[in-house]
Amino acid sequence: MNPIFMALVAIVPIAAGAVTAAFAMRKISITALDGMTRQPEIAPQLFTAMLIGMALVEALAIYTLVVTLVIAGKIGV
């Protein structure tokens, strides 16, 4: 098969995963920062919750990374 097409097969999923995860993380961090500036006294709890939420979102991007790595291994990049 065309090598450029094969490279695209590996690149497009990770790009899509990264973009969607970035949008979700933007929402999480904006909301958490809003809450922290409004109520600085609960900032540590908010920070912990923000980290957990970000980790859950990030896991989805990591899944695409893993799938991309598997594809890249199959096509021998």
Helices 43-75 and 3-38 meet at what angle, rounded to 10? 180
| 62 near other proteins (CB under 8 A) | yes
| 58 near other proteins (CB under 8 A) | yes
* Of 55, 57, 46, nearest in space to 24 by CA: 57
| 25 near other proteins (CB under 8 A) | no
Q: Which is nearer to other proteins, 8 or 51 (CB)?
A: 51
Please identify which residue in 7, 16, 55, 75 interacts with other proteins, judged by CB under 8 A. 55
| 66 near other proteins (CB under 8 A) | yes
C-alpha span between 67 and 75 (Å, rounded): 12
